[in-house]
Amino acid sequence: MSHRPFFRLAPLSFLILLTFGIASCIKDDIVPNNQGEARARIEMTDAPIDNPNVKGVFITVIDIKIDGKSWAGFDGKTTFDLLNYRNGTTKLLGEGTLEAGSHSEITLVLDTETDQNGTSPGCYIKDAQGNNTKIKGSNLLTIKSTGNIQTQNNATTNAVLDLDLRKSIVYQSGSTTTFQFVTEPELSEAIRLLDKSTTGTIKGDCTDGVSGSDKIIVFAYEKGDYNANEKFPQGSSQVTFKNAVTSALVEDDGNFQLSFLKSGNYELHFISYKTDAQGELQATGELQMNVVGGVLDLLQLNVAAKAEVRMDVVVTGILFF
């Protein structure tokens, strides 16, 4: 009997067993990554500016900082007209990974000097005559948002930055042709950070045959926050209706839309504006309103996440300021 075949196969068998053993050890040392990663989309929208001569508000964003660090998801220096993004429409600024958890410090950095093509200025107003006027402010202007978003592994959070232009840009002191940004603390009060999935909308149609208003702006306040002093200029930059959560212009066809409202109770106030000799809109009084059907109360509106409150209102009179 010969044992040669056995001795020839034994080294090969040993190598096979050794290979499986090493592979098994490697497999045991690998920790499966089941955590995934959190992602975010950051978009931007605005509330209208109360100046009939302003036809465009262009800003140039050069950085988005989250928790103090530049975010890699930002698409890069971009210039756009904020007035194009109203009534629930948004401008996408970037999409990418973001550490899972709570984020309340999201900062926009604006270049007021040059736009995305290197042309001056970077932030400017376009008027009805087609002229561009620089919005005065720091060369690199930082706007820290107020609010909070939560990101989770294996999910994308859709965040929106809502910049209220009416609170953000004013005439330079003593001028009716030169614009400037409000102070940086006031800018922080004028921008909201929201998770879109937690917000709702109020839409409606306004019929006015009695007030003679040139424009009507509807202001949304958290329940109980409105008082008669809101019509007076407030703060360093003298902003009226300063504590409104957001506002919307009643369009010529009567439609209005208040978007990205956090779940909660709100009250609506419709303000009549007339155009003065300088072409500026001046608030003249608060409109008295009836809600068609009588089911909803303008001073007690509940807005739920991902829901829409719909109403038709009729102007019945005006309480002059």
- Per the domain annotation, does 26 fall within a domain? no
Q: Does 164 map to a domain?
A: yes
The amino acid present at 120, given as its one-letter code, is: S
Give the Cα separation of 188 and 150 in Å (integer).
20
Q: What is the pLDDT of residues 142-160, one digit of tens each?
A: 999 989 999 999 999 999 9
> Within a domain: residue 21?
no
Task: Determine what percent of the chain is predicted with pLDDT higher than 90.
Answer: 81
Please indicate, yes or no, if residue 9 is contained in any of the structural domains.
Answer: no
Please tell me the predicted confidence (pLDDT) of residue 23.
45
Mean pLDDT of 3-32: 41
What is the enclosing helix (H) or strand (E) of 289?
strand 281-291
**Position 19 in a domain:** no
CATH no. for residue 217?
A: 2.60.40.10
For the segment 189-228, what is each residue's pLDDT rounded down to a tens digit?
999 999 999 999 999 999 999 999 999 999 999 999 999 9
Residue with tokens 């990554």: 33
Q: How confident is the model at residue 28 (pLDDT cuts 50, 70, 90)?
A: very low
307 found inside a domain: yes
Identify whether 173 is part of a domain. yes
**pLDDT at residue 22, as a whole number:** 42
Q: Which domain holds residue 275?
A: 39-320
Structural domains of the chain, count: 1
pLDDT tier at 50, thresholds 50, 70, 90: confident
The whole-number average pLDDT for the span 37-66 is 95
- 164 burial level (CB within 10 Å; 0-12, 13-18, 19+): buried
Share of the chain above pLDDT 70, in %: 89
What's the burial of 209, exposed, middle or buried (CB within 10 Å: 0-12/13-18/19+)? exposed
Q: List the structure tokens of 22.
A: 């090493």
